[in-house]
Structure 1
């Protein structure tokens, strides 16, 4: 049996990384910046969920032990920070409902209750070849403040 040379999930995550990097700038007012970029209004994050071969979403935990300010949380939503080979560093996106309550995906809450996602400094390292599906979400979920 031949070894897979490419993974569709890996390709999707690499594409998301490229899209995000195209928006991030060191000097946003410089003459070489993307001043006319349409995506400026959408921010710099393409949120997504990834799924195992059993169709279950990857769940990760942030602020375990509450050593940093803020609550311990779990999430199924991520932002790609860096792709290196078949591995990736993903930052955890914390999910809130429209009443600003943190959602718990290991307990009772469902993804349909998500109103807002926020970036965090918590990361997870993943092997992209271990996932079978990726579900990209609307970038407008990041830091959302009201219904459209």
Structure 2
């Protein structure tokens, strides 16, 4: 396979990878072994499959910025449970809420649920790849109610996590605050 015919290099790579996937799909169809164990396609299948239906409502995901391919962290501010102060939340985990005009989407910031009660809000963007995951994370997420609108054209990659149902803040630790922030 050569990249002639005046195509741009990005299209050439895309075309080659498309051919690879098509060939792999043909082989996998005969072997019935074409599923990634993690990824967006698998998460969507798991969420919609009647065989695995367990009440999950959300596919949490991570986004990677265009240009530097770094993990995208969003920061949001909300009044805390009693309305007397503010909480600042920084997280790379999102739930898509609804599409806006064009390729803009409203995203809710999700926190990691932790064994210490409350979400595991993040300290500034970590230096090591997965330091943003609290060591006492339970595997669930906590709703924050904080939403941002982003233009998806500014991202180059997405990683979907397994379907889940985020815990509401009040249900998370019983004190009505729901956020166990680390600042």
The alignment's TM-score, normalised by the length of structure 1, stands at: 0.60
**Quick check: 1:73 aligned with 2:77?**
no
Give the root-mean-square deviation of aligned CA atoms: 3.4
Gaps of 5+ in 2: 1-6, 9-39, 173-183
* Structure-2 residue corresponding to 1:26: none
Following TM superposition, by how much is the alpha carbon of 1:67 offset from its aligned partner in structure 2, in angstroms?
2.3
The correspondence for 1:56, drawn from 67, 70, 80, is 70
* Structure-2 residue corresponding to 1:111: 133
CA distance in 2, matches of 1:103, 1:112: 8
Following TM superposition, by how much is the alpha carbon of 1:112 offset from its aligned partner in structure 2, in angstroms?
6.7
The correspondence for 1:87, drawn from 104, 119, 126, is 104
| Residues 71/96 of structure 1: CA separation in 2 closer, same or farther (3 Å cut) | farther
Secondary structure at the residue paired with 1:111? coil
Following TM superposition, by how much is the alpha carbon of 1:95 offset from its aligned partner in structure 2, in angstroms?
1.8
CA distance in 1, matches of 2:111, 2:74: 10
Secondary structure at the residue paired with 1:71? strand
CA distance in 2, matches of 1:59, 1:105: 11
Question: What is the aligned length?
Answer: 115
* Structure-2 residue corresponding to 1:28: none
Of 116-125 and 43-52, more deviation after overlay is shown by 116-125
| Residues 38/91 of structure 1: CA separation in 2 closer, same or farther (3 Å cut) | farther
Gaps of 5+ in 1: 3-14, 24-35
Contact 1:51 1:131 in 2 (8 A): yes
Contact 2:60 2:160 in 1 (8 A): yes
